[in-house]
Structure 1
Amino acid sequence: MSVFVEQRRPRCFPLTLIIDCCIPHTESVPEFLTNLRLSDLYNLPGESVSMNPEIFSAMRAGNRDFLEKMRSYGTPMACLKNDKGDSILHLAAALGHHKLVESIISECPSLLLEPNWKDQIPLHAAACAGRLAVVKTLVASITYFSARIISEEERGRFNVYVLKDIDGDTPLHAALKGRHMETALCLVNANKHGSFLENNEGISPLYMAVEAGGLALVKEMLKGVENNVQGHISNLASKLEGRKWLVHAALKAKNKDIIDAILNEEPSLVNERDEEGRTCLSFGAYVGYYKGVCNLLDRSTSYVFECNDDGSFPIHIAVDKGHVDVVKEILKRCPDSIELLNKKGQNILHIAARSGKARSSLLKFIKRLDKKKNHLIEEQDEDGNTPLHLATINWRARNVRDLTRFSSNAAKILKIQNKDGLRALDIAEVNLQSNYIFRERMTLMVLLYAYKPRGYKKIPITGMTLRSRSEVVDANKYKDRVNALLLVATLVATVTFAAGITVPGGFNGSGPDLGKAILAKNENFILFMIFDMVAMLSSLVAILALIWAQLGDPELVHKAFQYAFPFLSLALSSMSLAFYFGVLATTSDTSYFLLFVTNFIQRVFSCLLYFLLVYYTVTSPYIPGFLRCHWATDTSLRMLLRFVDEDDAETYHTSGSGQTSV
C-alpha cells in the first residue's frame, strides 16, 4: 500500500452554533459501544493510505470477517481512503451494512468525525442513501459520546448534525434531497436545530420538507422553535435561514394541512414573497390550488388587493393560468377585484384575451359579470389596446372568436383603434408573417369572418392580405406551394383518366355491344362517369392555371391560386364521389349490409374530406365562394379552431413592431 506524499491536514469543527437541543443520556448503551471511551473519539489517524481493491470490494460487500484480516496489515484502518477520500465507514454506511458499521465504529470511533474530500462525514453518506438502520446506529453512537461531554461548548463542537459539506448540505439536507422521509425524521428527532439551516442554495431542510409534502416531518421540525435563545424571543421567522416563503412551497405541494401548521406557528410568513416578488395568494392562484387559496382567503380577503412586484394582482395570475375555480372564488369574495388593473392598465379580460390557457368558459364567465356595464371588453390599456387587440397580437384565434361572438356590442369593438391607429384586423394584416403559421392564418380568418358583414366579398388568407395585396409579390415565395398543388392536380388527372378508360365492370367481349361498357345502363355507373369526367377536367384546368404561375410573373401568382384551388378542390371532391358510385355500380346488388357499410363510410369520409379541404383553404389566396355561406363558414371555423394549439407558447406574440407587442 502506498502512502500519500502530502501529509494529512488536521481536521477540526469550528462550529459557532450553540446547540439548543441537547442529547439526553440513554438508558441502555449499545453493545458495540460499551468498551469505548471519550478519548477514543479524538484518536485521529495520521497519514492517509490508499485503499486497495481487495479492501474496497470487501467493504462494499459488507464483509465483517475481513476486518480481522485488515488488522494484520499493520496499517490503521482509520487511515484507509479511496480515490474520493471515503473511509471504510463511509463505504459501509452508504451501502447500508449496519452490522459492519457497528464493527468499524467499535474499532475506529474517530471515523464518525472523518470527512471525505467533499467534507461529508459518514452520517452524510448514510442519510444521502436513505440507510435508516445505519443512520440509527450512527445517531446512537453520537448520542453515546455526546452524553459524556461535560462542556457545553465542546458539546456544540461535537454536534455533527449541523456539519455542512462543500455544497452547504447537512446530513438532514442530504436525506431530504433523496426524499428519504423516515431517515430525515430520525435526524430531526436527534437534533431539531438543523432543520432551519440553509445550504449554499439558500434552502433549509424545513423548506425541503414542506416542498415534499411531509406533514409529520414538518410538524416535528416546528417543535424546534423555542423561546429561550439568549433571553430573546425566538420565532420561526427569525430562526429560519435562507428561503422564508414556506407558504409558497406548501401551496406548490398542494397540502392544506402544512399551510395551517406553518401559519399557526408563524402567521407573519403569509406576508413573505418569493424570488419573483409574488404574494402567497398570487402563488396559490398561479399553481391553481383551490383549497389553498380558500384557506388564505379565510384568513383575510385583503390579500386579494396586494400587488405583486410586477404590478399584477392574484386575480390576474389566476386568469392568466386559466384557473376558473380560483377566479370565481376570488370574485365571489371580492367582487370589486374585477376592476383591478396591472401596471400596464390591463383588466382581467385583457389578461384572459392574451392568455393561451384561458378557455371559452372563463371568457364567458367574465363577460357575464360585465354584461351590465360592458366596459371591460371596451377598456383600453396604456397602449390603447382592447382585449380584442391583445388576443390578436398574441394570435389567440379561439379567444378572438369568443370576444367577437359573445359581445353584445361587437360592431363597436371591431372599430376601436389603439394609440397607433390600428384596429384588431389591421394588426393581424400588418403583422401576418409571409411563411405559413397556422395560428396566425386562423386568427386573421376569424377576424375577417367577424368583419364579413361590412362588405368583404373575398377573404384573402395568405401573406398577401387586404392591406398588402397591392404590393409587389415575390413569385419565389409561393414556388413550393405551386409545385405541391401541381403535383396533386397531375396525380388526380392521371388517376381519373385511367379510371375512365378502364371502367368498372369491364367491356362486352361479343355481341352487338362489343367493346361497350357492361354497366353502361346502370345509374350508379352513369354517375361514376360524370364525376370522373368532372374530376379529370377540373384537374386539367388547375394544372393549366398553375403552369401560368410557373412563368415567374408575380402578378400571375395570385391569379393562378385564385383559379387553381377551387378547381382542384372540385377535382378531389369529384374523384371521391366517382369512386363511391363506381363501387356501388359493381356491388349494389350483392348485399344490403355491404351497401349500408359503403354508404356509411362514404358519408363519414366525405365530411372529413370537406373539412380537410377547408383546412387547406387557409393557405389559399381566396376562400372559395361556397365557404362564404354563413353556416358553412361558422362550421368550418369551429372545426379548424380545434387544430390550433395555443398552449405551447405562452409568450408567443406578433412579430410586428414594438408598438403592437406585449
Structure 2
Amino acid sequence: MSKDLLNTGSSMDLDLLRALTCGDGDRIMKLAREKPILFSGRSLQGNTALHIASRSSVNKNTTVVQEILNKLPSLLYERNDRGETALHIAAAAGHVNVVKLFGQKIKSTDNETGQKNIMMRMQDNEDNTALHIAVRYGHFKVVQELTAVDPEPILSVNRAGQSPLSIAIDEKLTDIACWIMRKNSDSLNYEGSNQLTLLHSAVIRQNFDVIVEILDAKMEIVSKVDGHQRNALHYAAASGHVKIAERLSKVLLAHKRDSDGQTPLHLATKNGRLGVMKMFVKDYPDVIELLDSKKRNILHLAAERGHDSTVSFILNLPEKDNFINAPDEDGNTPLHLAAMYFRCNVIKNLSRDRKLNIRATNHNLQTAIAIAQTSRMKATENKKYLTLKALEAIYKNRDLDPEDIIANWALDERIRVTDEGEIERAKKLAEVLLTLTTLVAAFTFTAALTIPADYKYKGPKHSEFFKFDNRNYKGTGFMIFIVSIASSSASCLSAAATICWLFFRASNNHEYFIKTLPSAVLLTFCGLVSMALAFVSGLYLVLSNNQTIPTQLVWSVSVATLLYYVFIPTYIWFLRRVMDARVF
C-alpha cells in the first residue's frame, strides 16, 4: 500500500503509523508540530493516533499522548471498529499514567460541558467499560485509578452478563475483588446465570479470602439460592473445601435442601468429599438420616457413584443399619445401585456386612445380580465381569446358589446370547494375540541368527561398564540388543504357549479363559516393548559405524525411535485406562 493511498480519505499517514507503532516519540512530536492534520487519520482497524499511542511503548512518557490531546482533544471520545475508546486501550495495556492523564482531561472536559464522566462509562461493542477491561487483564493500579475517578461503572454489566466484580472473582483476582467490594458494596447485588450470586461464584472458585470479605460486607447474601435452590454451602460441600464449608456452616443451616431434596451432606457424598462428610457428621449429626426426593440416603449416593472410601466411612457409622438395606422410591437398595453401575469394589465392601440382604428385590422384582446382568449403563467388559464375580462371591460365601436368587426372567436367552458374545470376543482376541506373538518370536529369532559369525564383542570391563565414553557405547548397545532380543522372544513364546494351553484345556471353562487371558496380553506387551528396545539398540549399532553420520544425529534417531515404540503405546494404554475410569 503506497503512502499516497494511505493519506487519502481517513487513512493514517504511513510515517505517523510507523512512528506510533515503533514508539518513536521524537518523530511523533515533530509530526505533531509540523503536520497536526495527520493525527485525524485512522488505521485499517479504525484506531486513531491516540488509540495507538495509548498502547505503545511511548507510554513510558505521557508527553506524546498529552501532545495528541492538545492538538485534537476530540480523539478522547473516538471509537475504533471494536467500539473501544483510547481509555479502553490504555486500560487493557495497564498504562496507569495514561489512564491518570485521561482522568484529568475528562474532569476538565466535564467541567466545560456540564456532563459527568461520559468517557468513563462508554462501552465497546461487547458493552465493556474501561473498568471491565482493566479487571479482565488484572491491572490493579488501573482499577484503582478508574474507580477513584468514577465508581459508577462498578455496577455496569456487559453483554456476557458480567460485572467487573464477577470477572475479578471468576479470574481469582483477590486484591481487585476486595477493592471493588470495599469501594461499592452494592456490587454484591449482582446475580449471574442461573441466579448464581457472587458468593456462589467465590465458593466454586474456592477463594476463601473473597468469601470472608463478602460475608463481612453483606451477610444477607448468604441466604440466597440459585435456580436449583442451592445455597453457597451446597457448593462448598460439593467442592470438598473443608475450611470454606466450616465457615459457611456457621451461618447456614446444614439441613437446607435443593430442588432435588438434597442437603449439602448429600452433595458431599455424591462427589466423594470425605473430609466435608466427616465435618457434617461431627457437627450436624441430625442431617445424616435425611433422604433426598428419590428417598435415597447417603449410602445410596455413595454406592451409585462408586466412592469406595466414602462407603467404608458410612458403614462404620452407628446409623449404617438404617442405610444398608433401605429401598429408594424404586425399591433399589445400595447393593442394587452398585450392581446397576458396575461398582465392583463397592459390592465387595458392602458384602463384608453380614446384615446385607442379598435377596432383596426392587419394585420390578429384580435382585442385584439380575440388575447387573441386564443393566445398560456404560462400562468396560472387565468391569461387568468383575461385578458379576463379586456378586456371585457373596452368594458363595453364604452357601447360596446364585441361580436360585436370580429372577427367572433375567435368565432368558437374551442374557445367554450376551455372555456367549463376550466369550467369542475373548477368543478372537486370543487368536489375534497368538498370531502376533508368533510373528514377533519369529522376527526376534531371525534377528539373533543374523549376527555376523565373525562379530567380536569388545565390551568394557565390568568395572568400566557404566562409564559412558565413546569406546563403551558399542559394547553397551550390543548388550542391550542381546538382552532385548532374548526377552522379547521369551515373552512372546510364553504368551503363545499360554494361549495354546487355554484353547487346548480351558476352551469350555469360560470363566478361567477370560480370567487368564490378560496374562497373555501382558506378556505380549512386554515382548513388543523388548522388541522395540532391540530395534533401537540395533539401529544405534548400525548407524554408529558410519563415520559420516554425526554422533548427535545417531542419538537423536535412536531416542526418537525409542519414544515412538515405547512411550506412545504406553501413553495410549494409560489414556484408555483413564477414559475407562471416567465412565465410573
TM over 0.5: yes
- Residues matched between the structures, number: 469
Shift of 1:457: 10
Shift of 1:120: 0.9
Structure 2 Cα separation of the partners of residues 404 and 211 of structure 1: 45
**Partner in structure 2 of residue 267 of structure 1:** 219
The answer to whether residue 155 in structure 2 is matched with residue 206 in structure 1 is no
Shift of 1:256: 2.8
Structure 1 Cα separation of the partners of residues 430 and 287 of structure 2: 54
Shift of 1:538: 7.6
Structure 2 Cα separation of the partners of residues 419 and 457 of structure 1: 20
**Partner in structure 2 of residue 116 of structure 1:** 80
Structure 2 Cα separation of the partners of residues 433 and 268 of structure 1: 43
Shift of 1:50: 1.0
1:248 alignment partner AA: H
Structure 2 Cα separation of the partners of residues 566 and 441 of structure 1: 9
1:180 alignment partner AA: H
SS for the counterpart of 1:409 is: coil
Shift of 1:452: 2.3
Aligned pair in 2 of structure 1 residues 275, 188: CA closer, same or farther (>3 Å)? Answer: farther
Shift of 1:222: 2.8
Aligned pair in 2 of structure 1 residues 478, 193: CA closer, same or farther (>3 Å)? Answer: same
Larger Rg: 1
SS for the counterpart of 1:81 is: coil
Structure 2 Cα separation of the partners of residues 341 and 189 of structure 1: 52
2:244 alignment partner AA: G
Aligned pair in 2 of structure 1 residues 416, 77: CA closer, same or farther (>3 Å)? Answer: farther
SS for the counterpart of 2:332 is: coil
For the 8 Å contact 2:11–2:41, the answer to whether it is kept is yes
For the 8 Å contact 2:340–2:377, the answer to whether it is kept is no
For the 8 Å contact 1:198–1:241, the answer to whether it is kept is no
Counterpart of 2:245 (choices 275, 284, 293) is 293
- Please identify, of 244-253 and 110-119, the stretch whose mean Cα deviation from structure 2 is larger: 244-253
**Partner in structure 1 of residue 386 of structure 2:** 442
Q: Normalising by the residue count of structure 2, what TM-score does the alignment of the two structures yield? A: 0.69
The answer to whether residue 146 in structure 2 is matched with residue 171 in structure 1 is no
SS for the counterpart of 1:97 is: helix
- Deviating 4+ runs (over 4 angstroms): 1-5, 71-75, 235-244, 432-436, 455-458, 465-479, 488-495, 533-546, 560-574, 643-648
**Partner in structure 2 of residue 521 of structure 1:** none
Aligned pair in 2 of structure 1 residues 126, 273: CA closer, same or farther (>3 Å)? Answer: farther
For the 8 Å contact 1:118–1:166, the answer to whether it is kept is yes
Shift of 1:282: 0.6
**Partner in structure 1 of residue 373 of structure 2:** 429
Q: Normalising by the residue count of structure 1, what TM-score does the alignment of the two structures yield? A: 0.62
2:288 alignment partner AA: I
Counterpart of 1:559 (choices 498, 504, 508) is 508
SS for the counterpart of 1:395 is: coil
Structure 1 Cα separation of the partners of residues 6 and 435 of structure 2: 78
Shift of 1:543: 5.1
2:429 alignment partner AA: R
The answer to whether residue 206 in structure 2 is matched with residue 254 in structure 1 is yes
Superposed counterparts of 1:153-552, under 5 Å: 154-155=115-116, 158-225=117-184, 235=186, 245-274=197-226, 276-300=228-252, 302=253, 304-356=254-306, 358-360=307-309, 362-369=310-317, 371-372=318-319, 374-405=321-352, 407-410=353-356, 412=357, 414-431=358-375, 437-453=381-397, 454=399, 470-471=416-417, 473=420, 477-478=425-426, 480-484=428-432, 486-487=434-435, 541-542=501-502, 544=504
Structure 1 Cα separation of the partners of residues 379 and 312 of structure 2: 33
Aligned pair in 2 of structure 1 residues 290, 161: CA closer, same or farther (>3 Å)? Answer: farther
Structure 2 Cα separation of the partners of residues 60 and 207 of structure 1: 34
Shift of 1:83: 1.5
SS for the counterpart of 1:60 is: helix
SS for the counterpart of 1:49 is: coil
The answer to whether residue 55 in structure 2 is matched with residue 94 in structure 1 is yes
For the 8 Å contact 1:545–1:563, the answer to whether it is kept is no
Aligned pair in 2 of structure 1 residues 96, 188: CA closer, same or farther (>3 Å)? Answer: farther
**Partner in structure 1 of residue 478 of structure 2:** none
| Larger RCO (CA under 8 A, 6+ residues apart) | 1
Structure 1 Cα separation of the partners of residues 43 and 249 of structure 2: 56
1:159 alignment partner AA: I
Structure 2 Cα separation of the partners of residues 437 and 189 of structure 1: 64
For the 8 Å contact 2:379–2:580, the answer to whether it is kept is no
For the 8 Å contact 2:430–2:517, the answer to whether it is kept is no
1:111 alignment partner AA: L
Structure 2 Cα separation of the partners of residues 257 and 449 of structure 1: 51
- Please identify, of 70-79 and 304-313, the stretch whose mean Cα deviation from structure 2 is larger: 70-79
Aligned pair in 2 of structure 1 residues 190, 392: CA closer, same or farther (>3 Å)? Answer: farther
Deviation by residue 1:605-643 (Cα, 9 ceiling, x = unmatched): xxxxxxxxxxxxxxxxxxxxxxxxxxxxxxxxxxxxxx9
For the 8 Å contact 2:430–2:499, the answer to whether it is kept is no
Counterpart of 2:582 (choices 641, 649, 654) is 649
Deviation by residue 1:292-313 (Cα, 9 ceiling, x = unmatched): 211111124x2x2222234322
Structure 1 Cα separation of the partners of residues 188 and 495 of structure 2: 79
Aligned pair in 2 of structure 1 residues 149, 352: CA closer, same or farther (>3 Å)? Answer: farther
The answer for unaligned runs of 5 or more in structure 1 is 6-47, 227-234, 459-464, 499-532, 547-557, 575-642, 653-662
Structure 2 Cα separation of the partners of residues 315 and 294 of structure 1: 12
Aligned pair in 2 of structure 1 residues 436, 355: CA closer, same or farther (>3 Å)? Answer: closer
Aligned pair in 2 of structure 1 residues 645, 391: CA closer, same or farther (>3 Å)? Answer: farther
Shift of 1:331: 2.2
SS for the counterpart of 1:480 is: helix
Deviation by residue 1:5-49 (Cα, 9 ceiling, x = unmatched): 9xxxxxxxxxxxxxxxxxxxxxxxxxxxxxxxxxxxxxxxxxx61
Deviation by residue 1:474-502 (Cα, 9 ceiling, x = unmatched): 6864552241354478689999x99xxxx
